[in-house]
Structure formats: structure tokens, C-alpha cells
Amino acid sequence: MRVGVIAASLGLSIAQQIPPATAQRPHSHPAALTVAVTARAIQPGEVVRLDIAGPRLVTGLTVRAFDKRIAAARLGENDWLALVGIDLGVAPGEYPVTIDATLDDGSQAGHVETLMVAAKEFATRQLRVSPQFVNPPPSVQHRIDRERRQLGTLFREIGPEPRWTGSFLRPIEVSVVSGFGVRSVYNGEPRAPHTGADFASPSGTPVLAPGGGRVVLAEPLYFTGRTVMIDHGVGLVSLLAHLSRIDVRVGTDVVAGARIGLVGATGRATGPHLHWTVRLQGARVDPLSVIAALQGPRN
Ligand SMILES: [Zn+2]
């Protein structure tokens, strides 16, 4: 059923590029792996879900894509999950995902899935703000550098074991006002693309954990203000920013829907809103594509 949904949601250009046998149904080769591919679209900033099963019990799995090893998690006795993030900066083209499995009799099985990444256009927005907003004062540069290293370390330390159960959901039930990948131009100066989703909501609105996991950061940072980071496992991490209040501590395990804080405008924010960033093994992906990939119970 999941695979049928994907085929329906694939853009026309993608459907034309991917042979139906690859895009629309799980497929297998003799003594090979069965791989079901789920994605909203095969484009920069999207999450591709691979559900993998062996011809017999799989005891070990190695998945590689975009020149790195992709975490794979065992969900059921013979069901494995891998999430591949197509980074915002990936150029259109063909990218192989190689899957190598060890079976319970010691034999090997393999599979190569080719992702046909289609081009995506991202919007541009023009903003006028005070000059200090665009260029932080030199006095805070040391703090900014330190926090950038701190976040980089945390992003790299996300473990392979899944920490969530159930579905992912929106941290606030309002529509997104500034989407993933939007290019902002502040006072005529182009800036790096927006790598999260912004939800406009009044200060004090509860912010919910978008998925289960462990809180690995809960403190004020220069750009993102009061910030909570959640390690979901399998290489997936969420960062929720600009909170007026933080309600969780580092080391706490949260479930999807648990309140982690309140909406605010702390850090570099033009007004109260929630900013939600996701990284998937370093890839900058749209948080809403994570929700699409992780609908329904994990098992
Ligand atoms: Zn934002």
C-alpha cells in the first residue's frame, strides 16, 4: 500500500524517468533482497525510505549512498529500515544506493537501487531587517563559532539505533509560513538557503516533540535562541528553535507529541515562530518529508 501511495505522489517528470518496475512495486532478484522504496519525491531535500527484507533472515546490513554509510535499523524479525537523505545541495542525476546483507546461513545478498534525483526550484523571499540582524556584532563571533562546533558534533553523534516509536507529527498544528529551501535576501544581501520549516504561532503556544527520541541539547544559542535538539536515532535529528521556554532536560527520552517548550522569538527571529530543522546523517532535508516517510507505526 505504501508503495502505491508513492507512485501516485511522484511528480510526472520523475515517473517518466524511473521505470515502473523500480518506482511502483517491491522487486526481487533470485536470492536477492526485497526493497520497497517510499518517498514524496526523489528531489533535493527529500527523505527516501527503504524497507528491506531478505530471502531468509538478515543478520547484518550495510547501506551506502552519497559516499557515506547509511544507518539501517531492524524493525521486525526480517524487516529492516534505512532512511536516505537527499541533501538540499545534491545536483540532479542518478545516485546508487547499495545494500549488502549477511544472511543467517552466512551467505550474502545484495541490491542496488538507483535514485533518479530530479531538479527542484526553491522560492526566494525578500526581507528588510535592521543591519545588526544580518551581520552579528564582532563581539559575539567567538560564541557563534563555539556553538557551530557544538552543533556539528551533536549532528555527527546521532546513533544508528531507532529511538522513536509510532508516527512523526507536526510540532505545532499550523501551516508552514516559510518552507524548506527558501532563499532569503536580507536588505538585498542573499543568504544561505533556509534549511528548516517555520511555523508561525503566537508566543506561548505549546511546541510538541515531532518524533520520539532523546533530548541531546536544551539551552539558549545565539542564532536559534532557546533550542531543543532531539536524537531520533537511525541518523535522524531534530532541532527546534526560538522557544520562549524549554520544558525538557538533556538526557530525557520523549515521545512524539510530548510538550518540549513554548513558541517564542528568542535568538535571531523577526517574530514569534517555531523553526524546525532536521538532519539525516548530515543531509539537510525538509522536516515535512520526514513526517511523510515515517507515517504509521514503526513496526
Ligand atoms: Zn526558520
Domain boundary among 72, 88, 117: 117
Counting Cα atoms < 13 Å in the Cβ hemisphere of 88 gives 19
* Domain CATH for 280: 2.70.70.10
Query: Which residues have C-beta within 8 Å of that of residue 145, sequence separation ≥ 6?
Result: none
Residues 79, 109: one domain? yes
Whole-number Å distance, alpha carbon 224 to ligand 1 midpoint, is 9
Whole-number Å distance, alpha carbon 144 to ligand 1 midpoint, is 17
Neighbours of 160 (CB within 10 A): 13
Count of structural domains, the chain: 2
* Domain CATH for 80: 2.60.40.1930
Whole-number Å distance, alpha carbon 283 to ligand 1 midpoint, is 17
Domain boundary among 76, 98, 117: 117
Whole-number Å distance, alpha carbon 196 to ligand 1 midpoint, is 5
The answer to whether position 298 is within a domain reads: no
- How much is the pLDDT for 126? 84
Whole-number Å distance, alpha carbon 176 to ligand 1 midpoint, is 10
Residues of the chain with pLDDT under 70: 1-31, 132, 296-299
Whole-number Å distance, alpha carbon 124 to ligand 1 midpoint, is 14
The answer to whether position 240 is within a domain reads: yes
Whole-number Å distance, alpha carbon 178 to ligand 1 midpoint, is 7
Residues 137, 261: one domain? yes
Closest to 201 (Cα-Cα) out of 293, 124, 263: 263
CA dihedral sign, ordered 231, 47, 289, 72: negative
- How much is the pLDDT for 31? 62
Whole-number Å distance, alpha carbon 276 to ligand 1 midpoint, is 7
Residues 53, 137: one domain? no
- How much is the pLDDT for 10? 34
- How much is the pLDDT for 134? 72
Residues with Cβ–ion distance below 5 A, ligand 1:
196, 198, 275
- How much is the pLDDT for 24? 42
The answer to whether position 299 is within a domain reads: no
Residues 77, 136: one domain? no
The answer to whether position 273 is within a domain reads: yes
- How much is the pLDDT for 296? 60
Whole-number Å distance, alpha carbon 199 to ligand 1 midpoint, is 8
Whole-number Å distance, alpha carbon 204 to ligand 1 midpoint, is 18
Give the β-pairing of 183-186 and 124-127: parallel
- How much is the pLDDT for 11? 33
- How much is the pLDDT for 4? 36
Which domain does 31 fall in, by range? 2-117
Whole-number Å distance, alpha carbon 18 to ligand 1 midpoint, is 33
